[in-house]
Amino acid sequence: MKRIRLIITGIVQGVGFRPFIFNIAKKFDLYGFVLNTSSGVIIEFEGAKIDKAVEYIRLNLPRGAVIENIIMEELELKGYNDFQIKESDNNSSNKISISPDIGICEDCKKELYDKKNRFYNYPFISCSGCGPRFTILEDIPYDRDSISMIDFPMCKECSSNYKEPSDRRYHAQTICCHKCGPVLMMDGAKTTIDDIAKELKDGKIIAIKGIGGYHLACDASNDEVVELLRERKNRPHKPFAVMMELKDALNNCIVSEYEKDQLQSTSAPIVLLLQKKNSAISKYINPNLNSLGVMLPYTGLHLELIRQTGPLVMTSANLNGHPIIKDEEELKGLMGIADRFVTHNRRITFRCDDSVIRCFENNSIIIRRSRGFVPSSIKISKSTPPILACGSDLKNTFCIFNNGYATPSQYIGDLMSRDNFNWYTNSIEDFKRLFNTEFKYIACDKHPAFQSKVYAKSLDKPIIEIQHHHAHIASVMAEKNIKDQVIGICFDGTGYGDDSNIWGGEVFVANDKEYKREYYFEYVDMPGNELAVNEPWRMGIGYLLNTFDIMPDIEFVKKYERDIFLYKDMISKGYKFAQTSSVGRLFDAVSAILGVREVITYEGQAAIELEAIANDYVDIYNYKIMNGVICTKDLIKGIILDIQNGVSKECISSKFHNTIAGIVLDVCSKLNAKTGIKKVVLSGGVFQNIYLLRKCYNNLVSAGLETYYNSIVPINDGGLSLGQILICIANM
Ligand code: ZN
Ligand code: ZN
Ligand code: FE
């Protein structure tokens, strides 16, 4: 017999933690209490089987709960005579981990299909272990009055479930049912899932309100309707995500155990899977790619809908470059795109796209971090005044630092769009309010033309400007709690360099405070300047002009003969184009020269399609490193020679990938020998390329280097804001 007090921190509120503890107390004959406080959940147990109970807690956490720390202390016996769930103290709600949205749980799935259950077929079924959280939040602490469920007074049954400590829905703030909860409407009239399914099977495109916003849905195996959706959205190639049951995912894709776990995880993200050759999914969903973005149904509505229709395209409903639509008033933007509009009357408070991840072996990287992940935070263990990091202008997220935790926002997107920019500034205000914070310092990118920097300046607070690629590297250091010096490899598309050139092929020795540029890819011209970003053929010309005096005899040169002549002439007359060391642009150039992709319709397309054709060919091209400059001339010459010798695109692509991975190993080994630094950090959008990331990682680890890359925040510019926080703290 003893008495102990446990203080548990992490995501332990809004996930059914207290009823879980209540039932454990019953199971192990313990007395005492459980209490939610602003510094975590406090539990007191008195009884004989305490050790067993604590062990049980660790092993059987409720789905969605994440324990960060358990502090345990033994106290004198008090002689409790029951176990109580005490009322929360809501006064000082400074640091509460707000739960992200949680995909539907197994218990709710069972009830959804149980004809005798009162939640049978209810689209908005949820419990204390699943359902929306962040996207219905209006204020903290998280309870019924501070979420948009306040619009739905509980019926008698719901309220008795809510009050019963042994019930799975005890204090489940999202509890609701057919009688008292939100209702489904199609084109303004009450509807059923059966009706919606019928329309979809009929080849209609339907806007459907989900958790973080609207989706555009249509039958994923119907070529005609998928093509129609592309036409109406003016989106020629960018892949669509598909929602399907697990059995269909296994039928259509090659799915590892690890990927299966990710699909079924509480965050229920889109997982980019390798598609099988004989898949029944329309080829118009992911043109020229071998990967398919798959997610499992994550609400009652989705589950029953997909059961009736089979795989559905489920793409964020927005106009290109604009935020995902969440409110009914915004739907007019979809007139002419959607045939039907399925809405419901529960308000979405925070817009949130579906998250996207990609896996290799037992690892994953995040491409887009939104629903299911936000607003989880990352512990930094520094105590400084609150900071706002403004992020990048591309794939923007911002990040706030408060009480030792960095909390990145959901994916906002590109800030050049007015609507996105408004969403950005409003979200910053919302986070400020939620986390009850006044920022003392502002961190932003050095790029003089970034909207995020203009915004940072408008706040009239001390600003720390941070080099783009240093922030990428620091984002990994923040995630992995790395304090010492690292060799930082940052390959991306665009970042403002200290010499005003466009950087993106950078090798630093860095810590959280400063960096030294040890190696970089040779600068080349960007013919047409920023036009070259969307027209990779221009980069092809840039690299050819950098490499050859007399143009080689290949198809690409014949096709662009006039442009090559024009640019050569401009350069000889002294015209100065923007210069770049970007590895992203090098991928573009190779993709264009090979004829894989010469003009893109979505970001990264040329590199993505180049990766898609790579096979397991193991050869590599030559390259030189001189005075810290990684020269690409031999590499380009090698590629041209292979083209002339009729080597396949697939082999050239692999050889090119292998060369970049070889360069990474080479420079890291050199720097390791020179400095003794053993830790290598990989970051930047180019590493969304799994073929490249896997090669680099395996090479480096085999060479005995400790290798890290982003797995908590996006490896692309979406992770930049977290890195900015770390560097800002170090430089304050
Ligand atoms: Zn549930
Ligand atoms: Zn009810
Ligand atoms: Fe970047």
Ligand positioned closest to the Cα atom of 584: 3
Q: How far apart are the CA of 491 and the centre of ligand 3, in A? A: 8
Strands annotated E in 250-403? 253-254, 270-275, 291-295, 312-316, 340-344, 356-360, 363-368, 378-379, 387-389, 399-402
Q: How far apart are the CA of 329 and the centre of ligand 2, in A? A: 28
Q: How far apart are the CA of 107 and the centre of ligand 1, in A? A: 6
Pairing relation of β-strands 270-275 and 356-360? parallel
In the predicted structure, residue 140 carries a pLDDT above the cut 90: no
Digit-coded pLDDT (tens) for 360-388: 989 999 999 999 999 999 999 888 999 99
Q: How far apart are the CA of 185 and the centre of ligand 2, in A? A: 18
Ligand positioned closest to the Cα atom of 107: 1
In the predicted structure, residue 103 carries a pLDDT above the cut 70: yes
Amino acid at 333: G
Phi, psi (degrees; rounded to nearest 5) at 267: -85, -10
Ligand positioned closest to the Cα atom of 169: 1
d(CA 670, CA 487): 10
Give the confidence band of 117 by pLDDT, cuts at 50, 70, 90: very high
Q: How far apart are the CA of 415 and the centre of ligand 3, in A? A: 14
Strands annotated E in 566-646? 579-580, 624-626, 629-631
Q: What is the pLDDT of residue 230?
A: 97
Distances (CA, A) of 187 to 275, 315, 317, 328, 492: 35, 20, 16, 11, 44
Q: How far apart are the CA of 84 and the centre of ligand 2, in A? A: 25
Q: How far apart are the CA of 394 and the centre of ligand 3, in A? A: 8
Q: How far apart are the CA of 126 and the centre of ligand 1, in A? A: 5
Q: How far apart are the CA of 205 and the centre of ligand 2, in A? A: 32
Q: How far apart are the CA of 543 and the centre of ligand 3, in A? A: 21
Strands annotated E in 546-671? 579-580, 624-626, 629-631
Q: What is the pLDDT of residue 572?
A: 92
Average pLDDT value for residue range 680-696: 98
Q: How far apart are the CA of 153 and the centre of ligand 1, in A? A: 20
Ligand positioned closest to the Cα atom of 447: 3
In the predicted structure, residue 203 carries a pLDDT above the cut 70: yes
Digit-coded pLDDT (tens) for 460-482: 999 999 999 999 999 999 999 99
Q: What is the pLDDT of residue 549?
A: 95
Q: How far apart are the CA of 468 and the centre of ligand 3, in A? A: 6
Average pLDDT value for residue range 551-560: 98
Ligand positioned closest to the Cα atom of 154: 2
In the predicted structure, residue 90 carries a pLDDT above the cut 70: no
Q: How far apart are the CA of 106 and the centre of ligand 2, in A? A: 20
Q: How far apart are the CA of 373 and the centre of ligand 3, in A? A: 21
Q: How far apart are the CA of 492 and the centre of ligand 3, in A? A: 5
Q: How far apart are the CA of 112 and the centre of ligand 1, in A? A: 10
Ligand positioned closest to the Cα atom of 176: 2
Give which of 169, 145, 148 is closest to 157, Cα–Cα. 169
Q: How far apart are the CA of 122 and the centre of ligand 2, in A? A: 11
Q: What is the pLDDT of residue 12?
A: 85
Report whether 391 contacts 443 (CB < 8 A).
Answer: no
**Six-digit token pair at 311?**
């795989």
d(CA 691, CA 615): 9
Ligand positioned closest to the Cα atom of 394: 3
Average pLDDT value for residue range 686-696: 98
**Six-digit token pair at 432?**
């400020």
Q: How far apart are the CA of 541 and the centre of ligand 3, in A? A: 23
Ligand positioned closest to the Cα atom of 604: 3
Q: How far apart are the CA of 383 and the centre of ligand 3, in A? A: 28
Q: What is the pLDDT of residue 96?
A: 60
Provide the percentage of residues in the chain whose pLDDT is more than 70: 99
* Cβ neighbours, 10 Å, residue 150: 14
Q: How far apart are the CA of 87 and the centre of ligand 2, in A? A: 23
Ligand positioned closest to the Cα atom of 15: 1
In the predicted structure, residue 24 carries a pLDDT above the cut 80: yes
Ligand positioned closest to the Cα atom of 105: 1
Average pLDDT value for residue range 632-645: 98
In the predicted structure, residue 691 carries a pLDDT above the cut 70: yes
Q: What is the pLDDT of residue 95?
A: 53
Give which of 290, 276, 259 is closest to 358, Cα–Cα. 259
Give the helix ranges, DSSP H, for 134-256. 156-163, 193-201, 223-233, 246-252
Ligand positioned closest to the Cα atom of 179: 2
**Six-digit token pair at 1?**
């017999």
- Cα angle 651-652-656, degrees, rounded to a multiple of 5: 115
Q: How far apart are the CA of 169 and the centre of ligand 1, in A? A: 8
In the predicted structure, residue 92 carries a pLDDT above the cut 60: no
Q: How far apart are the CA of 727 and the centre of ligand 2, in A? A: 49
Q: What is the pLDDT of residue 419?
A: 95
Q: How far apart are the CA of 159 and the centre of ligand 2, in A? A: 7
* Cβ neighbours, 10 Å, residue 188: 9
Q: How far apart are the CA of 432 and the centre of ligand 3, in A? A: 26
Within 13 Å, how many C-alpha atoms sit on residue 290's CB side?
A: 13
Q: How far apart are the CA of 476 and the centre of ligand 3, in A? A: 13
Over the Cα atoms of the chain, what is R_g? 27
Q: How far apart are the CA of 29 and the centre of ligand 1, in A? A: 26
* Distance of alpha carbon 355 from the chain centroid: 5
Q: How far apart are the CA of 655 and the centre of ligand 1, in A? A: 49
Q: Which pairs with CB-CB distance under 8 Å and at least 24 residues apart come from 471-474? A: 471/445, 471/720, 471/723, 471/724, 471/727, 472/683, 472/684, 472/719, 472/720, 472/723, 473/508, 473/510, 473/515, 473/681, 473/683, 473/723, 474/510, 474/512, 474/722, 474/723, 474/724, 474/726, 474/727
Ligand positioned closest to the Cα atom of 299: 1
Q: What is the pLDDT of residue 36?
A: 83
Q: How far apart are the CA of 452 and the centre of ligand 3, in A? A: 14
Q: How far apart are the CA of 161 and the centre of ligand 2, in A? A: 9
Q: How far apart are the CA of 397 and the centre of ligand 3, in A? A: 12
d(CA 285, CA 271): 15
CB under 8 Å to 375, separation ≥6 — which residues? 98, 100, 134, 407, 409, 410, 431, 434
Place of tokens 């240093």: 470
Digit-coded pLDDT (tens) for 589-604: 999 999 999 999 999 9
Q: What is the pLDDT of residue 382?
A: 87
Q: What is the pLDDT of residue 689?
A: 98
Ligand positioned closest to the Cα atom of 152: 2
Ligand positioned closest to the Cα atom of 718: 3
Q: What average pLDDT does the structure give for the chain?
A: 95
Digit-coded pLDDT (tens) for 324-360: 999 999 999 999 999 999 999 999 999 999 999 999 9
Q: Between 142 and 326, where is the model more confident?
A: 326
What is the reported pTM? 0.96
Digit-coded pLDDT (tens) for 474-513: 999 999 999 999 999 999 999 999 999 999 999 999 999 9
Q: How far apart are the CA of 356 and the centre of ligand 1, in A? A: 23
In the predicted structure, residue 586 carries a pLDDT above the cut 70: yes
Average pLDDT value for residue range 689-697: 98
In the predicted structure, residue 141 carries a pLDDT above the cut 80: no
Ligand positioned closest to the Cα atom of 683: 3
Give the confidence band of 91 by pLDDT, cuts at 50, 70, 90: low
Q: What is the pLDDT of residue 89?
A: 64
Average pLDDT value for residue range 193-211: 98
d(CA 100, CA 352): 11
For the chain, the farthest-separated pair of C-alpha atoms sits apart, in whole angstroms, at: 92
Q: How far apart are the CA of 583 and the centre of ligand 3, in A? A: 11
Ligand positioned closest to the Cα atom of 131: 1
Digit-coded pLDDT (tens) for 144-164: 999 999 999 999 999 999 999
Q: How far apart are the CA of 130 and the centre of ligand 1, in A? A: 4
Q: How far apart are the CA of 717 and the centre of ligand 3, in A? A: 5
Phi, psi (degrees; rounded to nearest 5) at 409: -75, 175
* Distance of alpha carbon 451 from the chain centroid: 22
Distances (CA, A) of 2 to 34, 44, 50, 232: 17, 11, 8, 68
Q: How far apart are the CA of 244 and the centre of ligand 3, in A? A: 33
Q: What is the pLDDT of residue 320?
A: 78
Ligand positioned closest to the Cα atom of 503: 3
Q: How far apart are the CA of 130 and the centre of ligand 2, in A? A: 17
